[in-house]
Structure 1
Amino acid sequence: MKQAVAYYRVSTHRQGKSGLGLEAQQIAVKNYCKLSEYELIREVMEVKSTRKCRAGLLQALELCREMNAILVVARLDRLGRDVEQIAGIVKSNVEIVVTDNPHANRFTIHILAAVAEDQRQRISENTKDALSAAKRRGVILGKNGTMLAIANKKAAEEFAQKLSPLLKRLKNKGITSVRSVSQELNKRGIPTFRGDGRWHPSTVYILMNRLK
């Protein structure tokens, strides 16, 4: 039985103490290891981390090298949100499995990371553009998040339009229910709007409503 090392990351101390986000990662990794008949020998959790310093991740990678084990993470963004950083990890001699896209090879992981980074950049740019335009119109930008919500809505609508051709092709193949569409998008490794999670029937329903 092949051995595996799990790496979990939560972004804040509050998340680390509460288990917010951690439990979902643990469930995803343990279910994958059980189904794939991997022996989960170590679990490394990182609570405090920055883009440049990931002591826990380095520890997990070193454990994999020492024990000839694979590194298992729940989602790609747990490895990092910087495509250059992920590229460096992928180039290491450690085999990596992302449970929400387990069939992805090294090349695919690199591409998905690049796509996710591009989406985050576009969302950020759209938000800044919307806020700047509102400010030029004399809108007072308060702290209630109203303008941010407008900017995010615009970015989400643009994202939905980009996926519209794919949804039409799926419809032509008879794939129309929100559940079947979500399964197909996950199967194809299509990133979500946020670029850091799996498609669910509820998120597909919201996507389809934006195209009406």
Structure 2
Amino acid sequence: MPKNFVAYYRVSTERQGRSGLGMDAQREAVAAYLNGGKWHIIAEHVEVESGRNADRPALDAALAEARLHRAPLIVAKVDRLTRSVAFLSKLLESGVEVRFCDLPQVEGPAGRFMLNQMVAVAELEAGLISARTRSALASKRRFYQGLTDDERAALAAQGKATGLGGKRSTVLTDEARKAGTARRAAKATDRARDLAPTIASLRAAGITSATGLAKALTERGIPTARGSDKWTTVQVQRVLSRLDA
């Protein structure tokens, strides 16, 4: 079991948020799920909302902190997050591991239901992709079979493949390279944004140099984008440049 967790709690009204009504039960559920051991909650985020508002700033903050520390997000009840498609989509896109205290094992009825749904969706997706791939290959094969020898020679002279058999190599187009670069840049920017609150806190404490920030991030146990437990000055400078951009 991981040592660190980020907890997300939800209460329905401001009165419950101020009084802690409902919070004790959720904290008890989390403690019971973790069942002792050398773990600790490194952060708690409480959402106070009515159920109608689609914005969940506390959830966004909890997911960001979970990504920052590479820690699972722990929630007392599964229905706290999965009442809407938007919630589920946000979780899937976040890349954060989520633990539901009322669903500790997939053998339970709710666990089996969720697992079956996930498997069903995965199977459907795989089937559709496979069908599209077969259709595309068949179409391409028919196209090449209909070419004359002169047309094949013309394509070969342009460096284009004239069939589906034999040794083939993949050559990335400029568009594909640009798309890959854009994806990597977006991922790096998202990571920098996750780090922004921590860096702001360190700066407020008087740690302003890149070297000092690198040491502080390392001491806090926050992993780098590639999962290293040690930050360098250059890595911090790159993060800062993205935040200042």
Which TM-score bucket, shorter chain as reference? 0.3 to 0.5
Q: Which structure has the larger Rg?
A: 2
Give the alignment's TM-score, normalised by structure 2: 0.40
